[in-house]
């Protein structure tokens, strides 16, 4: 097994071969120039960078400031025949973690320094894993926004109650994750968790799927089949998309919820099952009741403890942790995501919520190939948000023009004014004073940006 992946930046190939022979257990990659090193670092992750001070006519130390963006987390060891104290200090201040003097008997010293560097990298990875663990606790939930923390608290509160739970929220916003967390917090691994997608079961098969059937109950019923409510006995029955259930099937479900009894299809014998029902829907069930598409008495049965999962666009501080979580799950620690890419993700509307974010990360990994994830690797369904399409920095020479420049400035100026007005309670006079501008100038900018000035009593 490889000790780790090491990039050796050295213009003399014979010396690279010598170093490689000293530590054959490491995975070595050679770059004969600084430009080669930059290309490799843009496409690949390395644990350690062994960097020679003199690369032809170039000074290897000039690469050090770039490593924070090119190779975040990599440990750099500078190698040089120079024993000048100022040069050593300069290299260490520029970002090198160690400095090794070249000599004819440097083999043991080099192996020791490399092993120390690899251990440093290993410890950094462990710290990153711990940091990610704080983002994703043992529940499998990722994120620490106010809305997510409130959901976690609600899950703890209702975990040991047997009352029905109704979860509302947009598709992909984490309704099933909440249901699974409530089940997990019960603390009994023997309790079953059975999930049913009510919208995916054909209407004619719903009763058989839920309550089971006996042999010969209908054409094709060649064997006795236990229903999902029997399989979930003693545990939790998760009814996803309950709002999509046809009225005729709602009646059959209501009978079971009333007393926990049911009759398998084709059987004359009543059976019972004790389950906690957790239902979820993206629909407004009160509106469905008013439209006659959902039974009011069924809503009353289900709506004992209601929870709402917020859409991802309302908890943007969860986007970064979620993106890193999906990246780690799909690519391990082989890939990273740049700050610019995270900033891009945080600006999206995410109509498909967490499910859409997962797909976007997966698609970006395909686009990136061997590279870390950068803004150019991301493609969004329907493209970027309109404001972002107008206000982003140019992506090609044809977008370097005055119109694009003005759109970018206007977009960010508008964001500033909107935030400032909110903080100053809409007081435009105070805003003008704070910005050291005339009130007429502020009003003119508002008119150009399509903003409405607030009105205070003194106006």
Q: What is the pLDDT of residues 434-456, one digit of tens each?
A: 888 787 778 777 777 767 665 44
CA 195 to CA 228: how far, in whole Å? 9
pLDDT at 231 > cutoff 90: yes
The predicted-structure confidence for 186-227, as pLDDT tens digits, reads as follows 888 788 999 999 988 888 888 988 999 998 888 777 788 888
What pLDDT sits at residue 337? 92
Q: Find the Cα–Cα–Cα–Cα dihedral 384, 386, 388, 389, rounded to 10°.
A: 70
Mean pLDDT of 147-160: 91
- Which has more pLDDT, 7 or 409? 7
Cβ–Cβ under 8 Å, residues 387 and 411? yes
Whether 268 shows a pLDDT value over 70: the answer reads yes
The percent of residues in the chain predicted with pLDDT above 90, rounded, is 36
CATH topology of domain 314-384: Helicase, Ruva Protein; domain 3 (1.10.8)
Q: If we measure between CA atoms, which residue out of 367, 386, 390 comes closest to residue 378?
A: 367
Identify the pLDDT of residue 137: 45
Burial of 239 (0-12, 13-18, 19+ CB in 10 A): buried
Long-range Cβ contact pairs of 362-371 (< 8 A, separation 24 or more): 362/326, 362/330, 365/327, 365/330, 365/331, 365/335, 368/335, 369/43, 370/43, 370/44, 371/42, 371/43
Mean pLDDT, range 152-162, rounded to an integer:
92
Q: 398 pLDDT exceeds 70? A: no
Percentage of residues of the chain with pLDDT beyond 70: 87
Mean pLDDT of 267-276: 92
Average pLDDT over residues 145-154: 89
CA–CA dist 171, 66 (Å, integer): 42
Tell me what the mean pLDDT of segment 321-330 comes to.
Answer: 91
Where are the extended beta strands (E) located within 354-420?
A: none
pLDDT at 451 (0 to 100) = 72
Spatial separation of the C-alpha atoms in residues 308 and 30, rounded to whole Å: 54
Contact 262/227 with Cβ under 8 angstroms? yes
Q: How far apart are CA 334 and CA 372, in angstroms?
A: 8
Query: What is the pLDDT averaged over residues 158-184?
Result: 93
**Mean pLDDT, the chain, whole residue set:** 84
Residues 126-154: what's their mean pLDDT?
67
The predicted model gives 238-254 an average pLDDT of: 94
- In angstroms, the CA 159 to CA 174 distance is 17
pLDDT of residue 129: 46
Q: What is the pLDDT of residue 275?
A: 95
* Other CB atoms within 10 Å distance of the CB of residue 373: 23
Residues contacting residue 265 through CB under 8 Å, at least 6 positions apart: 207, 208, 211, 212, 213, 214, 217, 218, 221
Considering only 4-18, 156-170, 305-319, 373-387, which range has the smallest mean pLDDT?
Answer: 373-387
Classified by CATH at the fold level, domain 163-309 comes out as Rossmann fold (3.40.50)
Closest by Cα among 135, 232, 247 to 179: 232
The domain made up of 5-131 is a member of CATH 3.40.50.2300: yes
Q: Where are the domains of the chain?
A: 5-131, 163-309, 314-384, 399-449
What is the structure's pLDDT at 136? 44
Highest mean pLDDT among 36-40, 164-168, 223-227, 386-390: 164-168
- Grade residue 74 by pLDDT with cuts at 50, 70 and 90: confident
For residue 138, the model assigns a pLDDT of 44
Range with the lowest mean pLDDT among 63-72, 75-84, 89-98, 405-414?
A: 405-414
pLDDT of residue 26: 84
How many helices (H) and strands (E) are present in the chain, helices listed first?
19, 16
Are 5-131 and 163-309 equal in CATH topology?
yes
């Amino acid at each position: 097994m490889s000790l780790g992946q090491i990039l050796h930046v050295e213009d003399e190939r014979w010396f690279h071969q010598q170093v490689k022979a000293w530590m054959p257990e490491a995975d070595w990659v050679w770059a004969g120039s600084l430009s080669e090193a930059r290309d490799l670092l843009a496409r690949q992750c390395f644990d350690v960078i062994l960097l020679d001070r003199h690369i032809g006519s170039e000074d290897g130390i000039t690469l050090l400031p770039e490593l924070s963006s090119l190779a975040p987390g990599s440990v750099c060891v500078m190698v040089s025949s120079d024993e000048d104290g100022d040069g050593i200090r300069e290299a260490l201040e520029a970002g090198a973690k160690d400095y090794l003097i070249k000599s004819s008997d440097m083999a043991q010293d080099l192996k020791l320094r490399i092993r120390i560097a690899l251990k440093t990298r290993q410890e950094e990875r462990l710290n990153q894993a711990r940091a990610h663990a704080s983002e994703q606790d043992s529940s499998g939930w990722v994120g620490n926004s106010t809305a997510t923390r409130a959901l976690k608290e609600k899950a703890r509160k209702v975990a040991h109650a047997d009352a029905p739970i109704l979860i509302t929220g947009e598709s992909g916003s984490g309704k099933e994750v909440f249901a699974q967390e409530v089940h997990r917090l019960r603390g009994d691994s023997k309790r079953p968790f059975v999930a049913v997608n009510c919208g995916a079961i054909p209407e004619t098969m719903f009763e058989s799927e839920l309550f089971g059937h006996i042999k010969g109950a209908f054409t094709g019923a060649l064997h006795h089949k236990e229903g999902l409510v029997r399989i979930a006995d003693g545990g939790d029955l998760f009814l996803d998309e309950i709002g999509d259930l046809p009225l005729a099937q709602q009646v059959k479900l209501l009978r079971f919820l009333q007393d926990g009894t049911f009759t398998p299809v084709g059987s004359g014998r009543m059976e019972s099952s004790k389950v906690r029902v957790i239902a979820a829907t993206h629909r407004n069930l009160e509106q469905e009741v008013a439209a006659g598409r959902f039974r009011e008495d069924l809503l009353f049965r289900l709506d004992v403890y209601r929870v709402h999962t917020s859409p991802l666009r309302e908890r943007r501080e969860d986007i970064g942790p979620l993106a890193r979580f999906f990246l780690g799950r799909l690519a391990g620690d082989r890939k990273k995501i740049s700050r610019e890419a995270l900033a891009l993700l945080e600006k999206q509307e995410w109509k498909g919520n967490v499910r859409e974010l997962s797909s976007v990360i997966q698609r970006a990994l395909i686009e990136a190939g061997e590279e870390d994830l950068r803004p150019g690797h991301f493609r969004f369904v329907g493209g970027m948000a309109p404001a972002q399409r107008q206000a982003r920095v140019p992506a090609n020479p044809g977008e370097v023009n005055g119109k694009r420049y003005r759109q970018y400035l206007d977009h960010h100026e508008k964001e500033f004014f909107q935030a400032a007005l909110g903080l100053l309670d809409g007081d435009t006079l105070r805003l003008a004073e704070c910005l050291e501008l005339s009130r007429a100038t502020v009003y003119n900018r508002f008119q150009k940006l399509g903003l409405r000035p607030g009105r205070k009593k003194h106006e």
